[in-house]
Amino acid sequence: MISREPTIERLATAKSLLLTPFGLDETHLARALNEIKAHKVDEADLYFQYTRSEGWSLEEGIVKTGSFSIDQGVGVRAVSGEKTAFAYSDDISEASLLDAARTVRTISSAAKSARVKTATQKIAAARSLYTAVDPISTLDSQTKVDLLGKVERLARAKDPRVAQVMAGLAAEYDVVLVARADGTLAADVRPLVRLSVTVIAEQKGRREVGSGGGGGRFGLAYFTDAQIQEYVDQAVHAALTNLDARPAPAGEMTVVLGSGWPGILLHEAIGHGLEGDFNRKGSSAFSGRIGQRVAAKGVTVLDDGTIADRRGSLNVDDEGNASQRNVLIEDGILKGYIQDSMNARLMGVAPTGNGRRESYAHIPMPRMTNTYMLGGDKAPEEIVKSIKKGLYATNFGGGQVDITSGKFVFSASEAYWVENGKVLYPVKGATIVGSGPECLKRVSMIGNDMKLDSGVGTCGKEGQSVPVGVGQPTLRIDGLTVGGTA
């Protein structure tokens, strides 16, 4: 058997699902793009997408719901200056393509000449970060139901205080094809799976919640017995810990953030502020500060879409550009922003492989992939022992940030009170309040335990949601404000 290079194989898969069944080929795509280019535009593209999704959920010991859906369509975009015209349809046909093309080209005036040069076709450079597997077909339905039942049994066997278990299993097979006005063709086949576990523990009338889970771009066979047990242990541990939690003290204090998922604070408080659209418009606290110190020495922050099998990784972004490893802050100095094509052009820089959209029905914008801080040289135990009086937060729930000011508020879902270097007891109701730029400057110790999250992150921006990853080492930040319940 002769196998094809992965980029060519993905392109063939995309054509077989998104063009051939509808009587389309590259000549029809070129015709639609030429319709747009008959008017003067800076950029134009077609974005075809086929998505097959499946979900199962368990509650009260029963798999209560199962869902399956198929969605497909095409988005047509034209960009002139900083204006975007966009049309989309779930009808993939030559007539729909041409109609959408004629609609979006009105963003700009007609060109002086109606003759349009056909661009030479080229296949975009791409990475091979995950296999083109359809995860839905990697386990049969009964095995998926049994997997969720196993979560229920393991959680209840872990501790008699476990009163309720909820679990969800999701799988998605996503195929995209991008055709750009410059003749570029790009395709990606994106598997995505996630297993989530939520446990409610009860003791003396008090009920607390804990959660665990993970996933990535691979098949469902990833969820081995050992992996399921790890997620269950996380969820049960969190719930039982919170049963013993006391009200959190409030005030300005030293805060130590644990490794891994607490990087969500980095994502929200700093990452969004480094997206190109906010900085081009001057609405970010980091606008116009490239080359300046924005963080303490030792702080290096990356957005990296090239990590194999990760939830936030992409072979190509949703504009057909290969994903990249982008250094945003290096040793405390701001080095750059993450960019899609339009904002990169308007800011006079190159795209960074961060043009992302939720689906064919949405326009692309600069979005994070896997955002994390590199590790330092301190043992995490040493960092915790350095706290005279303060908070050690190992897990976070929800939060929000104001991009313009950089101010954020986050709630800690698992945290501990520490005095004289000793962890005394868990606390409940702690919220961390601060400013992203100021927070970075107050980092005083960086752990050697950098860890990425387990693969559960979803980022929302302007009504669009995309899968992302976060990560960081254990960090000590001095002088943060903690809002508590004590």
Report in angstroms the alpha-carbon separations of 141 from 42, 55, 68, 145, 216: 48, 11, 12, 6, 20
- Judged against a pLDDT cut of 70, whether residue 306 lies above it is answered with yes
Average confidence (pLDDT) over 32-55: 96
What does the pLDDT average to over 269-293?
Answer: 95
Look at residue 110 and tell me whether its pLDDT is greater than 70: no
pLDDT tens for residues 462-480? 999 999 999 999 999 999 9
**94-104 helix and 26-37 helix, angle to the nearest 10 degrees:** 20
Mean pLDDT of 151-169: 97
The secondary structure of 372-402 as a DSSP string is EE---SB-HHHHHHT-SEEEEEEEEEEEEE-
Largest Cα–Cα distance in the chain?
Answer: 80
Q: At how many degrees (to 10) do helices 225-243 and 141-158 cross?
A: 40
**Residue 116 near residue 77 (C-beta atoms within 8 A):** no
Q: What percent of the chain has pLDDT over 70?
A: 97
Confidence of residue 47 (pLDDT cuts 50, 70, 90): very high
Q: What is the DSSP letter of 274?
A: G
Is 90 exceeded by the pLDDT of residue 107? no
Q: Tell me, what amino acid is at 205?
A: G
* Range in 15-24, 214-223, 284-293, 431-440 the model is least confident about: 431-440
Assess whether pLDDT exceeds 80 at residue 403: yes
Radius of gyration from C-alpha coordinates of the chain:
24
Cβ-contact 363, 86 below 8 angstroms: yes
223: helix, strand or coil: coil
- C-alpha distances out from residue 311 to 129, 235, 315, 453, Å: 11, 20, 12, 10
246-247/206-216 β-pairing: unpaired
pLDDT band, residue 111 (cuts 50/70/90): low
Q: Enumerate the H helices of 190-275 as residue ranges.
A: 225-243, 263-266
Phi, psi of 27 (to 5 degrees): -65, -35
Mean of the per-residue pLDDT values of the chain: 94
At 153, is the secondary structure helix, strand, or coil? helix
393 contact partners, CB below 8 Å, separation of at least 6: 255, 256, 257, 258, 262, 412, 414, 415, 416, 430, 432
**pTM of the complete model beyond 0.85:** yes
Residue 422 near residue 304, CB atoms below 8 Å: no
Contact 147, 154 (CB under 8 A): no
Tell me which residue of 69, 79, 8 sits closest to 47, measured CA to CA: 79
205-220 pLDDT, tens digit each:
999 999 999 999 999 9
The answer to whether residues 372 and 301 touch, using CB atoms and an 8 Å cutoff, is: yes
Reported as a single tens digit per residue, the pLDDT across 433-462 is 999 889 999 999 999 999 999 999 999 999
Cα distance between residue 54 and residue 73, in whole Å: 18
Whether residue 1 is predicted with pLDDT greater than 60 in this model: the reply is no
| Number of neighbouring beta carbons within 10 Å of residue 361 | 18
Alpha carbon 361 to chain centroid, angstroms: 19
- What pLDDT does residue 113 have? 42
pLDDT of residue 362: 98
Residues 32-47 as b/e (b if ≥16 CB within 10 A, e otherwise) read bbbbbbbbebbbbbbb
Question: What's the confidence (pLDDT) of residue 2?
Answer: 52
Mean per-residue pLDDT, 332-344: 97
pLDDT band for position 36 (50/70/90)? very high
Q: What is the pLDDT of residue 297?
A: 96
What pLDDT is recorded for position 394? Answer: 96
